[in-house]
């Protein structure tokens, strides 16, 4: 089965009322772990590469690894997505290499830091929609800015800043003006393992990040057919951070997005859920444990295999929690050429 346009995976998720995990990858082990979990749970899935990933591994290596996953698991609907594309040129490069979906993150300028004006965001997103749809490729855009900075990406917005959250009325205009397929919303999440700065004043305990779920509810009310995307959706499970800290790591004060909040989003139109950090945590903990317990080991396979197994468990848990499990065989996947015809009719 060829790679599937992401739009079909999201349309089917909307019909079935579930969400689909979009997992960031940088290497073969993560891709294999995702596919093993998808196979076991019979889940459609989205594999995505950030610009950081492309810098680390090069686009062509990741493209070929994901292509291999697709050939090895022909029964799994799989979309290959560019995460946080920063320019039409990067998106074009991905499209030409065979990515079936691209994100044009026009919320920030090409430096990945400075917020764009609304007009700039509309113009650059529309440009990519015109380009991508001519190939049958799906486009995700973003309105509003995520909190924090992760690996140089992000506007560095404070967790309690509400000025950069997605405005539902503007979202309606943005979707109409750009013709995008999926809308990434800013509701107070941020990338990475430290998503909350809030502390209970009495106990000093960390509190969950205050997410503006009402914005998702409102956008869904205004546009029931709009597929929303939640970035920064790792849950940062305590047991994974504990393993890291137990074996020499130092990660105090981490906090993620509770699964129940993501599930509430899914009930209100969230179809794509971006998860990267949780897999990083699982793999790092597993590697630390092996090297700590068996310091004589030096074959990378001795720590890459446990790392892959730990990532697999995260992906599997998320596939079940998001509801995509069991839906791999619900529909007959279409091709980019089929999708091109659909866009041609609009
Ligand atoms: O875009 C967010 C992801 O967590 C990617 O991070 O740029 O370090 O690969 P990265
Ligand atoms: P996390 O850092 O929460 O995993 O978010 C990943 C993400 O949004 C990738 O685009
Ligand atoms: Zn993101």
172 has a pLDDT exceeding 90: yes
- How far is it, in rounded angstroms, from Cα 36 to Cα 73? 9
Q: Calculate the average pLDDT of the chain.
A: 94
Confidence of residue 25 (pLDDT cuts 50, 70, 90): very high
Q: Whole-prediction pTM value?
A: 0.96
Question: In angstroms, how far is CA 170 from the centroid of its own chain?
Answer: 23
What does the pLDDT look like over 129-151, one tens digit per residue? 999 999 999 999 999 988 765 55
Per-residue confidence (pLDDT) for residue 99, from 0 to 100: 98
Confidence of residue 306 (pLDDT cuts 50, 70, 90): very high
Question: Which atom, in ligand 1's list, is nearest to the CA of 51?
Answer: 7
325 in any annotated domain: yes
285 in any annotated domain: yes
Number of structural domains (the chain) is 1
193 in any annotated domain: yes
Confidence of residue 2 (pLDDT cuts 50, 70, 90): confident
Q: What element of type H or E holds 84?
A: strand 78-85
3-state DSSP helix/strand/coil % of the chain, to nearest 5: 45, 15, 40
1 has a pLDDT exceeding 80: no
Q: What element of type H or E holds 140?
A: strand 138-143
90 in any annotated domain: yes
Q: 105 alpha carbon to ligand 3 midpoint, in Å?
A: 9
**Measuring from atom 10 of ligand 1, which residue has the nearest CA?**
52
**Residue 195, domain extent:** 6-344
276 in any annotated domain: yes
Q: What element of type H or E holds 83?
A: strand 78-85
Decide: 153 in ligand 1 pocket, CB within 6 A: yes
Known catalytic membership, residue 111: no
Confidence of residue 224 (pLDDT cuts 50, 70, 90): very high
What does the pLDDT look like over 10-23, one tens digit per residue? 999 999 999 999 99
Q: Answer with the residue of higher pLDDT: 1 or 339.
A: 339
Could you tell me the CATH number of the domain that includes residue 223? 3.20.20.70
1 in any annotated domain: no
234 in any annotated domain: yes
Place of tokens 């197994």: 309
**What is the average per-residue pLDDT within 197-225?**
90
Decide: 276 in ligand 2 pocket, CB within 6 A: yes
268 in any annotated domain: yes
Per-residue confidence (pLDDT) for residue 150, from 0 to 100: 54
**What is the average per-residue pLDDT within 237-263?**
96
């Amino acid at each position: 089965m060829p790679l599937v346009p992401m739009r079909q995976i999201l349309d089917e998720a909307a019909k079935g009322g579930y969400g689909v995990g979009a997992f960031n990858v940088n290497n073969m082990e993560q891709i294999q772990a995702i596919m093993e979990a998808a196979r076991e749970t019979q889940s459609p899935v989205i594999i995505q590469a950030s610009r950081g990933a492309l810098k680390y591994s090069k686009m062509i290596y990741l493209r070929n690894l994901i292509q291999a996953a697709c050939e090895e698991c022909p029964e799994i609907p799989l979309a290959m997505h560019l995460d946080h594309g920063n320019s039409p040129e990067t998106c074009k490069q991905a499209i030409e290499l065979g990515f079936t979906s691209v994100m044009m993150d026009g919320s920030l300028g090409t430096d990945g830091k400075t917020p764009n004006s609304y007009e700039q965001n509309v113009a650059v997103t529309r440009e990519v929609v015109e380009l991508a749809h001519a190939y049958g490729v799906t486009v995700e855009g973003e309105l509003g800015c995520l909190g924090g900075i992760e690996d140089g990406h992000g506007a560095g917005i404070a967790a309690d800043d509400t000025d950069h959250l997605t405005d539902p009325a503007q979202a309606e205009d943005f979707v109409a003006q750009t013709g995008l397929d999926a809308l990434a919303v800013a509701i107070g999440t941020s990338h990475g393992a430290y998503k909350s700065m809030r502390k209970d004043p009495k106990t000093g305990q960390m509190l969950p990040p205050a997410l503006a779920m009402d914005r998702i509810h409102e956008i869904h009310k205004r546009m029931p057919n709009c597929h929303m995307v939640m970035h920064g959706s790792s849950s940062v499970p305590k047991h994974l951070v504990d393993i890291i800290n137990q074996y020499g790591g130092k990660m105090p004060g981490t906090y993620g997005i509770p699964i129940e909040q993501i599930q509430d989003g899914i009930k209100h139109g969230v179809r794509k859920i971006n998860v990267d950090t949780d897999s990083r945590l699982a793999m790092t903990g597993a590697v630390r444990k092996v090297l700590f317990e068996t310091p004589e080991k030096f074959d990378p396979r001795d720590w890459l295999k446990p790392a892959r197994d730990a990532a697999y468990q995260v992906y599997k848990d998320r596939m079940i929690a998001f509801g995509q499990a069991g839906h791999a065989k619900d529909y007959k996947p279409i091709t980019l050429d089929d999708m091109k015809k659909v866009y041609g009719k609009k």
